[in-house]
Amino acid sequence: PDWAKPRQRLLQFNPKWYLPSMGGMEMGKIVIGLDASGSCSMPEVKTFFKVVEDTVVHHPVDDLEIVVIQFDHDILSVESYTKADLPFKWERHGNGGTNFQAPIDYINNMVEEDENEMPACCMFLTDMGCYPPEEQEYPFLWVATEWNPAWLDQFPGEKVFLPVSGFNI
């Protein structure tokens, strides 16, 4: 039973009949593209690692799996994380240019091999130092340490500004 989702049918008759739905809280795989290119400072990359860890720690789904793809102009590493892996040990890879298409191609190849690998969401932690990719079948969330209002229309999906103290405020 899932107390976070009450049985709507019973609530229609009486708001005091708050009973759990039969389904549990489930979440598909979240894929995070972590920009480790040369334009991202070490404080920015450390902030990205902290965002990944906080996402795992604070997400209400216990069996959440997050796949972190470190990339610059190419795929640098691919690692899966769950709450059982806490605390995480991080190592930055790469330092080249930025290419958002590299992790997108990786995800699309993963999905092509197995449809069950379709991510619930693809989050990019980045300084947005590259051309926008094309929209995909899965939703995007851009967490950007640099901000340019022109990107609001150019990049598909939702956008969030994440200032890193002393670097972009």
Closest CA to 122 of 142, 149, 102: 142
Residue 19 pLDDT: 52
Q: Helix, strand, coil shares of the chain as percentages rounded to 5?
A: 25, 25, 50
At 35 the pLDDT is 95
Over residues 3-52, the pLDDT tens digits come to 455 555 555 665 655 555 555 556 678 999 999 999 999 999 999 999 99
Q: How confident is the model at residue 95 (pLDDT cuts 50, 70, 90)?
A: confident
- The residues pairing with 21 across neighbouring beta strands, listed in sequence order, are 2
169: confidence class by pLDDT, cuts 50, 70, 90: very low
Q: How far is CA 22 from CA 6, 25, 63, 112, in A?
A: 9, 10, 18, 32
Distance CA 110, CA 92 (A): 23
Query: For 58-91, how does the pLDDT look when each residue is reduced to its tens digit (9 = 90+)?
Result: 887 778 889 999 999 999 999 999 888 888 888 8
Q: What is the pLDDT of residues 31-43, one digit of tens each?
A: 999 999 999 999 9
Alpha-carbon distance of 47 to 42, in angstroms, equals: 8
CB 155 within 8 A of CB 124: no
